[in-house]
Each structure stands twice: as C-alpha cells, then as structure tokens.
C-alpha cells in the first residue's frame, strides 16, 4: 500500500514538473506571423521544447524588452533594434563569435498589394504614380522596418511628398495588409510574406518593389540577456538557420540568410 502511494506521489511530481516547464518565449516581428508558427511546430516536434510567440512591430517589442518583458529571444524585422538592445546590455548574440552583432536569419522583400476586385490598375510603379490612388497603406516608419522601407522606396521614386496626404499608417505590417484587405486603403506596401498568405494571394495581386529603391531589409535575431533559457534559444537559432528551415523561409517570401 505504501509502495503504491509513494509511486503515485512520484508520478504526480513528474507530471507536475513537466507541466510546469515554461516555454521558450519568442518576440517576433509581425512579418513572421505567416511563417513562424509552422517553424515553431517543427522545432517543438524535433526538440521537445515548447515555444510561445508574440507578434508585434519590432519597435514595440524592443520597448517591451527594455521594460523587462520576459522574452528569451527576439526576432526583429531589421538589425537596428537588436543592435540597440545589445548596446544597452539587454541582449546579445553569443551563439556566434561576434556577440556584438545580431544574427541575420533572413532578408525581407517589399511589395505593393491590392485587391483583385479593385477598380484601379494592377499593382505597379505606375499605380503609385496614379492620381486615382486615393489611399495607400504603409506601416508606421517610426516603429516598423517595412514602413521605413516603404518611405525610402517612395522617396527614391520622388513620390513621397505627393503621396504623403494619402498615406494610411498602420501599426505594423500585418495591420497594413489588413487595411487593404478590408477596403480601408486602395493598395498597400506590405511584406512578401503577407502577400503570399492564402487569403491575400487568393484575393489580391502584388508587385515586387525593385530592391534598389530601398535599403536591404536584413532581419536580425538576438538572445535577451536575462533569459534563463539560453541553451534552448541557441537550439532554436540553430534550427532557424538550418538548410531545411531556410528553404521554408524562402517559400514564405523571405530571402534566406544561409544558402
């Protein structure tokens, strides 16, 4: 009887310990929302490490980390915000020899997207020049790297001043796409990852903005300094940089950092 009780208590303790294991908390840029869930699922299956993700604009996630949010890993849509956190001693990239620089895990592509049922011409540079374009959605350039890329592209085309009053500013790239999808904007400068999602690809068309019109959107990763899951974070980064996962990123619209 006592042996059965002891065995039962041991079993309960084991289950409780397993259930209490906290997940690897990943702060991820909004452009990763279409692709990262599948990658996280694959990582959990191969490693047994549970992953919990939060998607927001890179600036918003940076501010949360600065304010002590309990993230373990930060996947930004640029290199600037991770570099800022490293400079403040709040993050590092110790998985590599140079821990003072974020790890470039992918590169983004900016596209112009519009609904198929729009009365306007299909997405192109000519559409951006058209006076018929009344509302153009962009992500907030002060908070979202794709928003900065959009402003840079419009500036390179000498269209920013003429379009400025027609810009509809969203909090992040996911909301930018939603503005156009819902009809609150005629077109939007969004990420290729968003344009390739099933509901956007079936309902709209996109045009790839020439890459020489804006600086490269290099996306960087850092490990939050206060993490207690450094080993797990390293494993996730190694998984993210592996050839099969880089191929997944390519299929989802991100240019791989590792070929």
Spatial distance between the Cα atoms of 224 and 28, rounded to a whole number of angstroms: 13
pLDDT in tens, 53-93: 999 999 999 999 999 999 999 999 999 999 999 999 999 87
Mean pLDDT of 197-216: 96
**What pLDDT is stored for residue 234 in this prediction?**
94
> pLDDT confidence of 95, banded at 50, 70, 90?
low
pTM: 0.85
Q: Is the pLDDT of residue 19 over 60?
A: no
All domains of the chain, ordered by start, with CATH? 2-107+217-256 (3.40.190.10), 110-208 (3.40.190.10)
pLDDT in tens, 105-142: 999 999 999 999 999 999 999 999 999 999 999 999 99
Q: Is the pLDDT of residue 96 over 70?
A: no
**What pLDDT is stored for residue 21 in this prediction?**
80
**What pLDDT is stored for residue 99 in this prediction?**
60
Measured CA angle at 92 (ends 250, 50), to 5 deg: 60
SS (H, E, C) the chain: CHHHHHHHHHHHHHHHHHHHCCCEEEEEEHHHCCCHHHHHHHHHHHHCCCEEEEEECHHHHHHHHHCCCCCCEEECCCCHHHHHHHHCCCEECCCCCCCCCCEEEEEECEEEEEECCCCCCCCCHHHHHCCCCCCEEEECCCCCHHHHHHHHHHHHCCCHHHHHHHEEEECCHHHHHHHHHCCCCCEEEEEHHHHCCHHHHHHEEEEECCHHHCCCEEEEEEEECCCCCHHHHHHHHHHHCCHHHHHHHHHCCCEECCC
Q: Is the pLDDT of residue 5 over 60?
A: no
Q: Is the pLDDT of residue 13 over 50?
A: no
Q: Is the pLDDT of residue 185 over 70?
A: yes
Q: Is the pLDDT of residue 156 over 70?
A: yes
Q: For residues 35 and 12, which has the higher predicted lDDT (pLDDT)? A: 35
pLDDT in tens, 26-54: 999 999 999 999 999 999 999 999 999 99
Task: Answer whether 104's CB lies under 8 Å from 79's CB.
Answer: yes
Tell me what the pLDDT averaged over the chain comes to.
90
């Amino acid at each position: 009887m006592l042996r059965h009780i002891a065995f039962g208590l041991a079993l309960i303790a084991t289950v409780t310990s397993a259930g209490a294991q906290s997940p690897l908390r990943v702060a991820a840029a909004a452009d990763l929302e279409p692709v990262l869930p599948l990658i996280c699922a694959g990582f959990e299956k191969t490693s047994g490490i549970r992953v919990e993700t939060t998607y927001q604009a890179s600036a918003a996630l940076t501010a949360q980390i600065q304010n002590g949010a309990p993230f373990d890993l930060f996947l930004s849509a640029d290199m600037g915000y991770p570099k800022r956190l490293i400079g403040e001693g709040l993050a590092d990239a110790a998985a590599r020899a140079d821990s003072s620089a974020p790890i470039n895990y992918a590169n983004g592509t900016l596209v112009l997207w519009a609904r198929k049922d729009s009365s306007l011409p299909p997405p192109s540079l000519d559409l951006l020049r058209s006076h018929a374009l009344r509302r153009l959605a962009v992500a907030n350039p002060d908070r979202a790297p794709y928003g900065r890329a959009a402003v840079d592209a419009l500036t390179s085309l000498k269209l920013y001043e003429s379009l400025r009053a027609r810009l509809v500013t969203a909090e992040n790239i996911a909301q930018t796409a939603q503005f156009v999808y819902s009809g609150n904007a005629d077109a939007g400068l969004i990420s290729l990852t968003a344009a390739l999602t099933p509901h956007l690809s079936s309902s709209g068309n996109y045009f790839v903005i020439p890459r020489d019109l804006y600086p490269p959107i290099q996306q960087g990763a850092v490990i939050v300094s206060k993490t207690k899951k450094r080993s797990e974070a390293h494993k996730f980064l190694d998984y993210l940089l592996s050839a099969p996962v880089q191929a997944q990123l390519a299929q989802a619209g991100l240019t791989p950092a590792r070929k």
